[in-house]
Chain A
Amino acid sequence: MAAASGLAVDERTGPPLPWAPLLKDALLAAVIAALLALPLVGLQTYDIGGGALGIATHFDWVAWGAAAVFAGRLALRLLPQFRTGRRGTGPTPVSRLTAWAGRQAVPITLAGIALAAALPFLPFSSRYLIDLGTTVLIYVMLGWGLNVVVGLAGLLDLGYVAFYAVGAYTFGLLARDLDFSFWEALPFSGLVAASFGILLGFPVLRLRGDYLAIVTLGFGEIIRIVLLNWASLTGGPNGIGGIPRPSFFGLAFARSAPEGVTTFHQFFGLEFSPDHRVIFLYFVILGMALITNVFTLRIRKLPLGRAWEALREDETACRALGINPTNVKLSAFAIGAMFGGLAGCFFATRQGFISPESFTFIESATILAIVVLGGMGSQMGVVLAAILLVSLPEFGRAFAEFRMLIFGAAMVAVMVWRPRGLIAHREPTVWLGTRRRAARIAP
């Protein structure tokens, strides 16, 4: 453009920057930010006792915030100015990285699994790290389960935590009233959650995408409120405690076993260590998560999985081709719910205690954030996002406090800049013959 206008401009810096409008724009943004922050950040209410409020002023925070917005806005507007010279010359570093990750998917996956499997035995690993790993894996499994519904079938489920809760409470109730062990209850948790998925999904799956989202949100809240108020069955806000721990093929993880039960350390002739159970739990959830993943990857290649993706792209076309949208959506809903239920069962046995407090909307939003940030439909993205989201608060109190704030902002930012998520995978798994070949030949 510079050459066309005949101006002698340095190739590397491009045309002179229009500083005045840029500064004006940034200043405007800063003024708006200051106005926004003035009442809610600048004037902080606090209790002064006796049911009254006092006001503390923090105008310095407002000023800092406005300055940050000014700098941020200016940088945001300057960035494309510097980029114009390179535009069109090639992919950006980020897209190159994701493309590389896409090509190397198999080795990366294998390395990831190997690392996950070796984690408890690495020299620097500790009980704390394994516990954190277990939490990450629960979210990975939930993310993969929700990915079936959101990423593959394109149904936005805002009440996914309901199925997690159903799975957890199924096990809790079976254990309390019928003395079920973890392994006996696990299939029931999955089944009950899947039935709930069908039960809840059946009437509402005809709805448009965003209506469906709100209705699932309503279902999630209904389940939570019922769990909270049906005290005679669920224990209400007190929850269910004393949920049994899983056993290793009938071997208990305990220092001294009751009559007739062999403990893990006795059987293998090991020194007793409470770490055994923690490590075992870690491997259980690792196995469950990997099964979820393999199941999803395989079912994508079945007609059902193809139908999910087709439905996500164009429902009207699917209908015209003879796919029954309700049945296909229902199956995605039920399978997603089943994985949620299984994860819930594991959550119950790991905590040993469950209460409705663990199953709030924030939990649904967190799982959804993991799926969205990771890139809807991308299995590897879910892992990355889960690690990021779960371990963020561990870096310090400030991160813990600002965690959800950062999640929220990140969800908006991802939708604005990379709607396909950190690792994009919205492409259909199959192409028609010619296109597929072309894609292979292309470097």
Chain B
Amino acid sequence: MAYFLQQLINGLTLGSIYGLIAIGYTMVYGIVGMINFAHGEIYMIGAFISIIAFLVLGLAGITYVPLALAVVLLTTMAFTSLYGWTVERVAYRPLRGSFRLAPLISAIGMSIFLQNYVQIFQGARVKPMPPLIQGGLTILESGGFAVRLSYLQLLIILLTFVLMAGFTSLIAATPLGRAQRACEQDMRMASLLGIDVDRVIALTFVMGAALAAVAGLMVTLYYGVVDFFIGFLAGVKAFTAAVLGGIGSLPGAMLGGILIGLIEAFWSGYFSVEYKDVSVFVVLILVLVFRPTGLVGRPDVEKV
């Protein structure tokens, strides 16, 4: 029981991170109808920028943890969003109206480019990050096994929750959110009614990148290591989360993320660590084959 609870906590933490990345996939898919394959790399760039920002703050002598965290969070989000915006501008916008697979191929190219860009300029070695937030709560103790919820895990889950709430209200209640929903339903009609579709799409990428940046920062803190290759697997898992929840749906992405995190945590807790990535791929394939609309998604009708 205690072990189960511990895996639950670990899974929730991991799931929050996947959920934040998954939102980027699901929003872009909902509006533009493409898989932003480079989104995993955006998250990786977020992780790198956060580690660099921590180092710079350390050199500047700012060591008060909450202040440092807030500053790093904002800088990381700002710079990573700029990356998200640029990727859309350079690799996707010129392709609107091209043949069906063109944006995906371009996205794969972008992903390879970003990965190697970071590898060349930051090195291929794993970047360590000393633990910043230590300590935690012991929730339960039974038979010599203590279930612990570290402050960091608490922070990750809470921050994700706050961001999700803010984000949902942004989509539901602001003019930008309304424009996004309009573009999702019918892009041409939206543009006829005076919505600047290019701007809406660009802002969607910016928002997705900002959330991925938060995920990158949290992973840096949580695992304490970052390398240029983390984006690939995290990207695939977050995409799986988006598909599992129902691509195009925001609550679905969060739900899918948490489910994927739980599946991964329980799989490595009870079965084998080696095959934990396989478990996620198997989930992806099963969902796509048996329930392609996901858990809360709408059926996708192909128009001729």
Q: Which residues of A line the B interface, CB within 8 A?
A: 32, 35-36, 38-41, 43-47, 51-55, 154, 156, 158, 203-204, 206-207, 209-211, 213-215, 217-219, 221-222, 225-226, 228-229, 316, 361-362, 365, 368-369, 372, 401-402, 404-405, 407-412, 414-416, 419
Q: If A40-B118, A402-B120 touch, does A411 touch B127 (CB 8 Å cutoff)?
A: no
B218 CB to nearest chain A CB (Å): 18
A404 and B239 form a contact (CB under 8 A): no
B158 at the interface (CB under 8 A from A): no
Chain B 41-70 near chain A by CB (<8 Å), digits 1 or 0: 000010011011101100100000000000
The residue from B35, B95, B243, B282 contacting A213, defined by CB atoms under 8 A apart? B35
Separation of A214 and B239 alpha carbons in the complex (Å): 9
A362 to B108, CA, bound (A): 11
Cβ–Cβ < 8 Å partners of B266 in chain A: none
- Is there a chain A Cβ closer than 8 Å to B18's Cβ? no
* With contact pairs A36-B82, A316-B302 given, residues A221 and B277 touching in the complex (Cβ less than 8 Å): yes
How far apart are the CA atoms of A32 and B82 in the complex, in Å? 8
> Which of A35, A215, A414, A415: most chain B Cβ within 10 A?
A415
Residues of chain A lying within 8 A (CB to CB) of residue B142: none
In the complex, which residues of chain A have a beta carbon less than 8 angstroms from the beta carbon of B90? 412
B3 CB-CB contact with A under 8 Å:
no
Provide the main secondary structure of the chain B interface: helix
Contact of A222 among B95, B123, B128, B278 (CB under 8 A): B278
- Annotate B92-111 by CB proximity to A: 1 below 8 A, 0 otherwise: 00110011111111101111
Contact: A405 with B113, CB < 8 Å? yes
| Whole-angstrom distance between the Cβ of B224 and the nearest chain A Cβ | 9
Closest to A226 in B: B278
Contacts of B59 in A (CB 8 A): 55
Among candidates A35, A207, A365, A368, residue contacting B79 with C-beta atoms closer than 8 Å: A35
B155 within 8 A of A: no
B117 at the interface (CB under 8 A from A): yes
Residues B55 and A45 in contact, CB atoms below 8 Å apart: yes
Interface pair A45/B52, CB less than 8 Å apart: yes
Using CB atoms, name the residue of chain A closest to B247.
Answer: A211
Question: Is there contact, CB below 8 Å, between B130 and A55?
Answer: no
A318–chain B nearest beta-carbon distance, Å? 12
Given contact pairs A204-B288, A218-B284, A408-B114, A40 touches B277 in the complex (Cβ within 8 A):
no
Select A45's contact among B103, B122, B278, B289, beta carbons within 8 Å: B122
- Interface, chain B (partner A; CB < 8 A): 34-35, 45, 48-49, 51-53, 55-56, 59, 79, 82-83, 86, 90-91, 94-95, 98-106, 108-118, 120-123, 125, 127-130, 232, 236, 239, 243, 272, 274-275, 277-278, 281-282, 284-285, 288-289, 292, 302, 304
| Contact assessment for A416 and B95 in the assembled complex, using a CB-CB cutoff below 8 Å | yes
> How many angstroms between the C-alpha atoms of A266 and B192 in the bound complex?
81
Are B86 and A32 in contact, CB atoms less than 8 angstroms apart?
yes
A interface majority secondary structure:
helix
Shortest Cβ distance from residue B137 to the other chain A in the assembled complex, whole angstroms: 27
Chain B: minimal CB distance from A169 (Å): 17
Cα distance, A211 to B59, chains bound together (Å): 45
Complex Cα spacing A206 to B51, Å: 43
What residues of B have a CB within 8 angstroms of the CB of A213 in the complex?
35, 101, 104
Which of B102, B277, B278 interacts with A415 by CB under 8 Å?
A: B102
Smallest beta-carbon distance A26→chain B, Å? 15
A419 touches B98 (CB 8 A): yes
- On whether A404 and B277 interact (CB within 8 A), knowing A39-B53, A218-B284, A411-B105, the answer reads no
Residues of A close to B274: CB separation below 8 A: 225, 228-229
CB distance from B212 to the nearest CB of A (A): 15
CB–CB A408/B110 < 8 A: yes
Contact between A412 and B104 (Cβ–Cβ < 8 Å)?
Answer: no
Closest to B83 in A: A36
A47–B129 Cα gap in the complex (Å)? 11
Q: Which residues in A have their C-beta under 8 angstroms from that of B113?
A: 405, 408-409, 411-412
Which residues does chain A contribute within 8 Å of B52, judged by CB atoms? Answer: 39-40, 43, 45, 55
A166 CA / B199 CA spacing, docked (Å): 46
The answer to whether B281 and A222 have CB atoms under 8 Å apart is yes
How close is B274's CB to chain A, nearest CB, in angstroms?
A: 4
Residues of B within 8 A of A35 (CB): 79, 82
| 27 residue pairs from A and B, CB less than 8 Å apart | A36-B83, A36-B86, A39-B48, A39-B52, A39-B53, A40-B122, A43-B55, A45-B51, A45-B122, A45-B127, A46-B123, A51-B128, A52-B128, A53-B51, A53-B55, A55-B56, A156-B101, A204-B285, A214-B239, A228-B274, A229-B272, A368-B108, A402-B120, A410-B109, A412-B106, A412-B109, A414-B109
Please, which residues of chain A bring their CB within 8 A of the CB of B83?
36
Whole-angstrom CA separation of A214 from B116 in the bound complex: 21
> Could you tell me the distance between the alpha carbons of A206 and B302 in the complex, rounded to whole angstroms?
13
Q: Tell me the bound Cα distance from A46 to B53 in angstroms.
A: 14
Question: CB-CB < 8 A to B272: which residues of A?
Answer: 229
